[in-house]
Structure 1
Amino acid sequence: MREVNRGDIYSRVVRHVVAPMWAAWEGSPYLKHLARLRRAQYRTLEEVKADQFRRLRELLSHAYAHVPYYRSRFDAAGVRPEDVACLDDLRRLPVLTKDDIRANREAMVADNVPADRLHPRKTSGSTGVSLQFSVDDDSMQWKRGCTYRHDEWAGWRLGERVGLVWGNPEYKGSWRGWLRNALLHRGTYLDTLRMDDEAMRDFHSRIMREKPTLLFGHAHSLYLFACFVRDNGLEPPRPRGVISTAMVLHDYERRVVEETFGCRATNRYGCEEVSLIACECEAHQGLHVNMDTLVVECLRDGRPAEPGETGALVVTDLTNYGMPFIRYLVGDTARMAADPCSCGRGYPLIESLEGRIADYVRTPEGEYVSGISLTENFAMVLEGVKQMQIVQDRLDHLVFRVVPGEDGNQGLEADIASLVEQRFGRGMEHQVEYVDSIQSEESGKYRFCISKLDAAQAFRAGEAARQ
């Protein structure tokens, strides 16, 4: 068996020279946060909780004093920040929904955070509904440090190359992005919007040459690439680890990924609004809750769910003072584990995530298109859409279920037709269905993209298309 990829000489240069100099030039403290988070990860659960609650009290005081929306929200609930004497008291505040954010976005911005310290964000996640919000600069640096620490749990080290099975690489938008990627981030991308044979073969050639120590990407997309490598008899890359995110990594997918690449797959969970929520460690006994920058509640009927019970996830971001997210209802469900992890870290474990599934679409030409990537190319660019769902009922047919926005749907069908041809080719037919609402599944999770093709059918169709 070929030796596992190791970091090259330049990765050490990045780690000890380029990254510190770049952080100093940017005025970014993320490396200091990373060092602190490394030291903090083996604290006892009691120590972690004490630090978490201290930061929560500071956030609540800030939100009441400087965020008009939360001041009125606290007053309506009859709660002052000092009334929250323990984590259980946090439940006296109502949850924050996506509709709340859309309706009160301007009032949710803190009056003491300069506008030039706020970074606008727009996401639809896996819900198919666009959401606009802001993250302050300090929060972004905390999230960056936290993400790198969890990347290290999969065996990667700062400065080493990464193969990314991901959509719409941001670095291509400017020469600065190209330079940053070449010198610092060192990412090689397989765009999940075009996972055809040619693109996957090209990605395989590049990562075999560049030898990344980490493969990172959407769960389904990593699985599809692993199947491509296996089914075409290609020599598999040998990273130290694989990080799977954005959707549920099913057991059958994990087996294929791990057997193909010869290493363990690390399951990660997060969302654009608050970044990393939970992640597996090297013991792979569940996903450690990120208590260093978040408060994560798992609730069933308004109470904390018992271990093994399915509950709704509610998250408070302890770092984003510019536009606080306090008791944010993410829209996903999970089951908490009863026992701690054997790794020695005190963070509680999520036993399993429920309902975080976004299917991929298969084109008549044999390409795979990630459902997560489609949110960025349909739900986020179409005007006049309140909510959307894409259903593939045949290999050559899609159904677009659309809840129209208040401004109507003039020109919408022509825009959808244009996007379908761009993304799926002329062989893909489609229809648009206007509906009053799109219901969640029994799990409580709304799925933006649903494929009614079973895996075997899709693979057989792909083989036929290539012949």
Structure 2
Amino acid sequence: MDWYAFLCRHMVTPIWAKKERSPYLDHCRRLDRFPGRSMEDLRAIQWEKLRELIQHAWEKVEYYREKWRSIGFRPEDLKSKEDLLRLPLLTKEDIRAHKPRMIAHGIPTEKLIPKKTSGSTGVSLEFFVDDDSIQWKRGCELHFNQWTGWKIGEKVAAIWGNPTHRANWRAVIRNALLERYDYLNTLKMSEEQMLAFYQRQLRRKPKLLFGHAHSIYLFANFLRQKKLEPFRPKGILSTCMVLHDFERRRIEETFGCRVFNRYGCEEVSLISCECEAHQGLHLNLNTLAVEFLRDGRPAKPGEPGALVVTDLTNYGMPFIRYKVGDVGIPSGKECPCGRPLPLMESLEGRVADYVVTPEGNLISGISLTENFAMELPEIKQVQIVQEKPDVLVFRVVRSETFSAGSEEKIRNLALQRFGKTMRFECEYVEHIPQEANGKYRFCISKVKNPFA
């Protein structure tokens, strides 16, 4: 039994939070009590938070005040969700161009924490989050982590890019005593590194495995190929990338526990998380307002839409109707778990992860890579790149069983999915390169689509 986990949960963590004057544990406990509320209650609280944020942005943020004045909008005009649609969307380009004017007047500089995205679209994004918002985000993360069965204070194994637990001696001590993470750096996933990570976890016995979806899948494959007996966490948190069904199956078969899918981004933190029912991802309406838009209108349940998010906690540099750059499918169903949080059916990937056919049809990159993985086991990895409406490039990593007939299978599969008007070519590579943040992208389209 891990006695220190009990000590950490009931003594070390509360004392540390008190020493830092951090309310994140209080926020976590408050969220733990939310299942007793109705969805109507939570939506009413969310709406009031939204109105307060809009009023604050009007009074304190030059960028929003000028934008809204130009369209004849004032905070008192916000009476329904339809009124919210009047407000302009916020893009990454807007933030880069107007960052100084987006910072709220009257917020002490020491309360603003600089943040930076990893730049999955090619250019990183720099912004600020106020300290109160950071504490809410920490509380939310702890709350949702516990849905896996993990408890505060228990050890975590993380497969992640650019870990910061060794940034300085304070970070080392904090991690050893409080956070208890051990990392496999996704930017250095050699067989030697994976074996060393595996051996450490056999000794540590972590209760949670956390990381990039595809990187966890690659690690599971490594264990199976080497015939290594896996360590047994209580649950697995998959995040930062779309989780394919074939990846979920392989990971769950390998580790003998369920995978909990999660979605978020650096700009607004955790957006949605899967519960033990595994029938969609619960939207985090505790700290966010989430919209799904298609051609500028709200997407219907079951219809893909571009994700637009308002962070209800960041008053230092508000993100109001921020276009994240991803596509998701809203659900009209209630979850059997009973939690009063609406569902997202699935995350469909980035806006640029949709292939557009010459006829104008949209095909999700998720379905394509899933299809290739299921139909072509002789392929280790595939990346689909679309530069023009009628041309695709398949970057293929071949396995030992790849043969001359495999390319014919690719040809037939492409013909079935895209028809005769789509041309394609195969480019054989040793590996699919990771992005700077350690993530993989398996479908990249540079052709405009309705979500752009």
- Counterpart for residue 291 of structure 1: 285
Q: How far does the alpha carbon of each residue in 1:67-104 deviate from its partner, in whole angstroms, 9 at most, with x for none?
A: 11011111112111111112221111010000000000
Q: 1:183 aligns with which of 161, 173, 177?
A: 177
The question of 1:84 aligning with 2:93 is answered: no
The question of 1:116 aligning with 2:110 is answered: yes
The question of 1:144 aligning with 2:138 is answered: yes
The question of 1:19 aligning with 2:53 is answered: no
C-alpha change, 1:204 and 1:443, in structure 2 (3 Å) is farther
- Counterpart for residue 48 of structure 2: 54
What CA distance in whole angstroms lies between the structure 2 residues aligned with 1:397 and 1:31?
42
2:251 alignment partner AA = V
- Counterpart for residue 206 of structure 1: 200
- Counterpart for residue 243 of structure 2: 249
1:194 alignment partner AA = K
| 3-state secondary structure, aligned to 2:165 | helix
2:446 alignment partner AA = Q
What CA distance in whole angstroms lies between the structure 1 residues aligned with 2:217 and 2:17?
35
- Counterpart for residue 395 of structure 1: 429
> What displacement does 1:167 show?
1.2
> What displacement does 1:440 show?
5.2
The question of 1:157 aligning with 2:191 is answered: no
**333-342 or 286-295: bigger deviation:** 333-342
8 Å CA contact retained: 2:283, 2:343: yes
> What displacement does 1:266 show?
0.4
What CA distance in whole angstroms lies between the structure 2 residues aligned with 1:345 and 1:26?
31
1:211 alignment partner AA = K
**283-292 or 330-339: bigger deviation:** 330-339
What CA distance in whole angstroms lies between the structure 1 residues aligned with 2:187 and 2:111?
32
What CA distance in whole angstroms lies between the structure 2 residues aligned with 1:204 and 1:396?
24
> What displacement does 1:398 show?
8.5
> What displacement does 1:40 show?
1.3
> What displacement does 1:442 show?
5.2
Q: How far does the alpha carbon of each residue in 1:125-154 deviate from its partner, in whole angstroms, 9 at most, with x for none?
A: 532221010000000000000011100111
8 Å CA contact retained: 2:148, 2:275: yes
**TM-score normalised according to structure 2 size:** 0.80
- Counterpart for residue 273 of structure 2: 279
- Counterpart for residue 193 of structure 1: 187
1:395 alignment partner AA = V
> What displacement does 1:443 show?
8.2
Q: 1:322 aligns with which of 293, 313, 316?
A: 316
> What displacement does 1:394 show?
4.1
What CA distance in whole angstroms lies between the structure 2 residues aligned with 1:400 and 1:226?
18
8 Å CA contact retained: 2:161, 2:187: yes
What CA distance in whole angstroms lies between the structure 2 residues aligned with 1:443 and 1:25?
50
The question of 1:311 aligning with 2:311 is answered: no
| 3-state secondary structure, aligned to 2:338 | coil
Q: 1:439 aligns with which of 425, 446, 450?
A: 446
- Counterpart for residue 383 of structure 1: none
Q: How far does the alpha carbon of each residue in 1:388-422 deviate from its partner, in whole angstroms, 9 at most, with x for none?
A: xxx88543598999xxxxxxxxxxxxxxxxx9xxx
Identity of aligned residues (%): 56
> What displacement does 1:41 show?
3.4
| 3-state secondary structure, aligned to 2:241 | coil
Q: How far does the alpha carbon of each residue in 1:11-67 deviate from its partner, in whole angstroms, 9 at most, with x for none?
A: 111111111111111110000000101111342110110000011111111111001
Q: How far does the alpha carbon of each residue in 1:367-394 deviate from its partner, in whole angstroms, 9 at most, with x for none?
A: x99x9xxxxxxxxxxxxxxxxxxx8854
C-alpha change, 1:440 and 1:340, in structure 2 (3 Å) is farther
What CA distance in whole angstroms lies between the structure 2 residues aligned with 1:440 and 1:160?
46
**286-295 or 9-18: bigger deviation:** 9-18
2:338 alignment partner AA = G
| 3-state secondary structure, aligned to 1:225 | helix
C-alpha change, 1:232 and 1:397, in structure 2 (3 Å) is closer
**325-334 or 72-81: bigger deviation:** 72-81
- Counterpart for residue 346 of structure 1: 340
Structure 1 unaligned residues grouped into runs of 5+: 1-6, 361-367, 372-390, 402-418, 424-437, 446-467
What CA distance in whole angstroms lies between the structure 2 residues aligned with 1:331 and 1:41?
30
What CA distance in whole angstroms lies between the structure 2 residues aligned with 1:42 and 1:400?
43
8 Å CA contact retained: 1:238, 1:261: yes
> What displacement does 1:347 show?
1.1
Q: How far does the alpha carbon of each residue in 1:218-269 deviate from its partner, in whole angstroms, 9 at most, with x for none?
A: 0000000111111111111110000000010000000000010101100000
8 Å CA contact retained: 2:294, 2:450: no
8 Å CA contact retained: 1:125, 1:272: no
- Counterpart for residue 132 of structure 1: 126
| 3-state secondary structure, aligned to 2:33 | helix
What CA distance in whole angstroms lies between the structure 2 residues aligned with 1:56 and 1:112?
20
C-alpha change, 1:440 and 1:136, in structure 2 (3 Å) is farther
What CA distance in whole angstroms lies between the structure 1 residues aligned with 2:296 and 2:80?
17
1:245 alignment partner AA = T
| 3-state secondary structure, aligned to 2:310 | strand
What CA distance in whole angstroms lies between the structure 2 residues aligned with 1:442 and 1:354?
14
Within-5 A mapping of 1:338-417: 338-356=332-350, 393-395=427-429
| 3-state secondary structure, aligned to 1:340 | coil
| 3-state secondary structure, aligned to 2:277 | coil
Within-5 A mapping of 1:64-79: 64-79=58-73
8 Å CA contact retained: 1:34, 1:145: yes
| 3-state secondary structure, aligned to 1:355 | strand
> What displacement does 1:352 show?
1.1
2:346 alignment partner AA = S
Structure 2 unaligned residues grouped into runs of 5+: 354-364, 370-379, 384-394, 397-426, 439-444
What CA distance in whole angstroms lies between the structure 2 residues aligned with 1:316 and 1:9?
41
C-alpha change, 1:74 and 1:444, in structure 2 (3 Å) is closer
Deviant stretches of 4+, over 6 Å = 357-360, 397-401
What CA distance in whole angstroms lies between the structure 1 residues aligned with 2:228 and 2:6?
30
What CA distance in whole angstroms lies between the structure 2 residues aligned with 1:276 and 1:22?
23
8 Å CA contact retained: 1:354, 1:443: no
- Counterpart for residue 405 of structure 1: none
Q: 1:105 aligns with which of 70, 93, 99?
A: 99
8 Å CA contact retained: 2:156, 2:181: yes
8 Å CA contact retained: 2:294, 2:451: no
- Counterpart for residue 263 of structure 1: 257
